[in-house]
Amino acid sequence: MNEVLRQEKKYAINIADGVILRGRLGTVMLQDAHNGAQGYQIRSLYFDTPDDQDFHDKLDGLELRRKIRLRTYSPRSDFAMLEMKQKQGPYQRKRSLRLSREDAQRLCRGDYSPLQRYPDPFAAECYGLMHCRCYQPKAVVEYHRQAFIARENHIRITLDSQIVATEAGSDLFSPQLPMYWVMDPFRMVLEVKYNGFLLSYIKDLLDRVERSELSVSKYCLARSVSLSMQG
């Protein structure tokens, strides 16, 4: 199991400002090794209870809340990461466990028994929670990310664009899923993650960008769009 504890801030910005910010960040921060010219793809399958308790806890702004997801970086990948994020005051605690493609596919179908074979206590915790509270696959969210890193204070800045989702399928590894737009394609999500405090030279670059803070996650955005279409 890997574990990260840090502060996270999310903002909506327009894509033109994002392009400018990307260039500026590239001059003072390290690029993520996976960035490439166009960034890299992320696809996540989110799980929730039958009454969508995690979704509503986030919308209601509860101090203690969680979300559980499976994440992969390509439909052709031979693994996926099972992740749990928990809000703890100003910090986000993220724990993750690497699963084989076969085991991840079974979780996509709502079968959590493969987690019983993993010796990591985190796997047992996820199995108990997801089994006892009847967690179900709810939505797949996909987007492109460009990430920048500063080793001081474990700072990580990400720019996420082309955010789409679906509730019509839960196969994380499907080469094609019927997606709908979660956010205007001319907007993107800026995420700022750090421990302790944000370095002033990075804060100065971010302050040059017009941005509005997002109070909801991509999962909540995806579910909200879907529910509005159903209504």
Identify the pLDDT of residue 231: 57
Q: How far apart are CA 61 and CA 29, in angstroms?
A: 32
* H-state helical runs in the chain: 15-28, 53-59, 101-108, 121-132, 200-207, 218-230
Q: How far apart are CA 98 and CA 92, in angstroms?
A: 20
Contact partners, residue 111, CB within 8 Å, separation at least 6: none
| pLDDT mean values, one per 10 residues, the chain (231 residues) | 92 96 94 84 97 93 90 96 91 96 98 97 98 97 96 93 95 95 95 93 95 91 83 57
Identify the pLDDT of residue 227: 77
- Which secondary structure element, helix H or strand E, spans residue 8, and what is its range? strand 2-14
Identify the pLDDT of residue 34: 84
Helix (DSSP H) and strand (DSSP E) numbers for the chain: 6, 11
Domains, the chain, in order of start with CATH, read 2-230 (3.20.100.30)
List the one residue out of 75, 91, 78 whose CA is nearest residue 41.
75
Tell me how far apart the 2 most distant CA atoms of the chain are, in Å. Answer: 50
Contact call for residues 224 and 58 (beta carbons, < 8 A): no
List the one residue out of 24, 17, 64 whose CA is nearest residue 212.
17
Q: How far apart are CA 175 and CA 192, in angstroms?
A: 30
State which amino acid sits at residue 92: Q
Contact call for residues 33 and 216 (beta carbons, < 8 A): no
Q: How far apart are CA 111 and CA 102, in angstroms?
A: 11
What is residue 154's DSSP assignment?
G
Hey, is 113 helix, strand or coil? helix
Q: How far apart are CA 81 and CA 216, in angstroms?
A: 22
| Structure token digits, residue 69 | 């997801």
Q: Is the whole model's pTM more than 0.85, yes or no?
A: yes
Identify the pLDDT of residue 132: 96
What is residue 42's DSSP assignment?
E
| Structure token digits, residue 162 | 């082309």
Contact call for residues 146 and 59 (beta carbons, < 8 A): no
